[in-house]
Amino acid sequence: MNVNISIATVRGPKNHRESKRNQDAILKRVWRAHWLVVVCDGMGSRPYASLGSYLACKAVCTTLRETNFNEPEKSVVKRIYQQWLMYLKDYLPRTPPKDAATTCLFAWGDSSGKVRLFQLGDGAIYYMTDTFGVNHEKSDNMFGNETTALGYSIRWQDWTYREIQLDFGATITLMTDGISDDIDKPQQFLDFLSGKFIAISPRQGKKYLINELNNWQTPHHSDDKSIGVIIWKKQHGSSTKE
Amino acid sequence: MREFAAAKPRPLPVIILADTSGSMSIDGKMEALNLALKDMLISFGKESHLNAVIQVAIIAFGGENASMILPLTSADEISGMQDLVASGGTPMGSAMTMAKELLEDKELIPSRAYKPTLVLVSDGSPTDNWEQPFAELQESERASKAVRMAMGIGADANIHMLKQFINDLETPVFKAHDAKDISRFFRAVSMSVTLRSRSTKPNQINKIDFNDISTDDELDLSDFD
């Protein structure tokens, strides 16, 4: 499939100093006819945040591998949520889900360039097709680290869902709030990523991202940071052998 | 890529609403409050292990209307503070309106800021209409998210009103009987804010146990509501 996906996650300086785990999790999969990128941010105030984010990535992957790409969005979310709760029950039978609360952002695409974007909680998904877009605009009335999450909300209305169509060079990036809350100019940021990642391999992309995240320039930043960058390299309407 | 990251750290705003009515001139209350505020500013300015930058604003309410004595400023950029002077009535409602406007100002307090802290200090009862401004503060989606703490100074402080003001039940209204108590309260505020600014979870509010704040003279628990 003509899609390049680079992902990276790094522990924030505070968790690093205190030898605590990265509470973010990130995953990418490219199957025969579909691809997937998931970014989850375990809520730091919760005791099993890192497990929650890991299991959320796993739940999205397991569920979507077995799900028809045209399944209604609400049904997709419901199946993922149920899978996450099942995993949690297996790992921590007596732990309430809120103790493993995590945000959940994912992009699920097919070989025609159609992409379904899902988001619960903070962080951001930016995309550049023929125009620039943001999947979910954070309310001005919120402050830093205010979010909803799997384990807190079971309301469909708390999710943001969008479908987009990619053409050659289109770019999507998903990131946790450790990055998005520090980005002042999202469109320029995505423009830069688009120019950078069109010319490098996912392996080079990962190396580059890890270096950039480990040298983040916002003073006193502390959060774990995770990002996925997707570059679509196929003309809309053209056919390729899978 | 990193050049797109904000060049400034996330702010953690602290807004002080300080009673400067005429009654504050009695028993050295005003002098004690000035000293305690200066100590707090020095304490914030010295913090170096932060995950946020502490910003402070001071709104004084005495006389006819409240006034912004110190606009919201990063603590490490504050070189000093003019002494507050006690006079006139207690226009607390005016101070609440000013605080609400500041909390709603998205330029001064951006969305990437951590939840602000609003600290109310008073030795008496409001002399203006405070109920309506307070209701508007509570109804504001943004301003209502601030953590609200309060200290009543002396026997005439309207504790009933201050109890309505606070929104963190784990941090009760503090009753100050003398200058040392005023200092003690602000040390507790400094400790709470500093802990938040060092935390990986600055929006999580730390329970304040005023008994943990060291002092030469012990107070018994009946001093606290």
Say how many CA atoms lie within 13 Å of B175 toward its Cβ: 17
In this structure, of A39-48, A97-106, B143-152, the range with the lowest mean pLDDT score is A39-48
| A209: chain B residues, CB-CB within 8 Å | 1
Residue A8 has pLDDT above 80, yes or no: yes
pLDDT of residue A43: 87
Tell me the chain B residues in contact with residue A12 when contact means C-beta distances shorter than 8 Å. Answer: 200
> Among B108, B55, B60, B54, which residue's Cα sits nearest to residue B82?
B60
Residue A193 near chain B (CB below 8 Å): yes
Q: What domain range is B56 assigned to? A: 9-123+141-154+167-208
Q: Where are the alpha helices (DSSP H) in A92-185?
A: 177-180
- Looking at the structure of chain B, the number of domains it has is 1
**C-alpha B183: how far from chain center:** 13
pLDDT of A173 = 97
Global confidence as pTM: 0.81
Q: What is the mean pLDDT of residues B148-159?
A: 90
Q: Which residues of chain B make contact with A14, given a CB cutoff of 8 A?
A: 51, 200
Check if the beta carbon of residue B157 is closer than 8 Å to that of residue B174: no
From chain B residues 49-78, the ones with a CB under 8 A of any chain A CB are 50-53
Chain B hits for A142, CB-CB cut-off 8 Å, are 111
A40/chain B closest Cα distance in angstroms: 17
Q: Which pLDDT tens digit goes with each residue over B197-215?
A: 655 555 555 555 555 544 4
Per-residue pLDDT at A240: 46
Neighbours of A28 (CB within 10 A): 20
Tell me if B176 sits within 8 A of B151, measured CB to CB: yes
The pLDDT assigned to B207 comes to 58
Examine residue B175 and state whether it is found in any structural domain, yes or no.
yes
Phi then psi for A122, rounded to 5 degrees?
-80, -175
Question: Per-residue pLDDT for B216 more than 50?
Answer: no
Closest by Cβ to B200, choosing from A14, A139, A142: A14
Residue B221 inside a domain? The answer is: no
pLDDT category at B118 given cuts 50, 70, 90 is very high
Give a three-class secondary structure readout of B120-167.
EEECCCCCCCCHHHHHHHHHCCCHHHCEEEEEEECCCCCHHHHHHHCC
Residues 84-143 of A with CB under 8 A from B: 138-143
Q: Are B143 and B103 in contact (CB under 8 A)?
A: yes
Quick check: A145 pLDDT over 50? yes
Quick check: A219 and B53 CB within 8 A?
Answer: yes
Closest Cβ–Cβ partner in A12, A188, A209 for B4: A188
Q: Which of residues 207-226 of A touch B (CB under 8 A)?
A: 208-209, 212-213, 215-223
Q: Of B215 and A188, which is predicted with more confidence?
A: A188
Structure tokens at B41: 């500013």
| B52 or A88, greater pLDDT | A88
Q: Any idea where the domains of chain A sit in the sequence?
A: 3-232
Give the position of tokens 């080079």: A204
Query: What are A197's strand-pairing partners?
Result: none
Structure tokens at A235: 């003309």
Is B105 inside any structural domain? yes
Question: Computed over its alpha carbons, how large is the radius of gyration of chain A?
Answer: 17
**Which residues are paired to A116 by β-bridges?**
A108, A163
Average pLDDT estimate for B130-148: 94
The contacts of residue B109 (CB under 8 Å, 6+ apart) are B11, B13, B72, B102, B103, B116
Whether A218 sits inside 8 A of B1 (CB atoms) is no
- List helix spans (H) across chain B: 29-46, 92-103, 131-139, 159-165, 179-198
Answer yes or no: is B220 within a domain. Answer: no
Q: Would residue B4 count as lying in a domain?
A: no
pLDDT of B78 over the 70 cut: yes
pLDDT at A42: 94
Nearest by CB to residue B201, choosing from A44, A138, A216, is A44
**Cβ contacts (< 8 Å) between B1 and chain A: which residues?**
189, 192-193, 196, 208-209, 212
In this structure, which topology does domain A3-232 adopt according to CATH?
Phosphatase 2c; domain 1 (3.60.40)
Amino acid found at B25: S
Question: For residue B216, is it within any domain?
Answer: no
Chain A residues whose CB is inside 8 A of the B114 CB are 143-145
Residues B198 and B114: their CA atoms lie apart, in Å, by 12
Q: Is B194 part of a structural domain of the chain?
A: yes
Q: Is A19 on the interface with B (CB under 8 A)?
A: no
pLDDT digits (tens, 9 = 90+) for B32-74: 899 889 988 888 887 655 678 889 999 999 999 999 999 999 9
Q: Which residues of A touch B201 (CB under 8 A)?
A: 44-45, 145
Chain segment A198-238, per-residue pLDDT in tens? 989 999 999 999 999 999 999 888 889 999 999 998 766 55
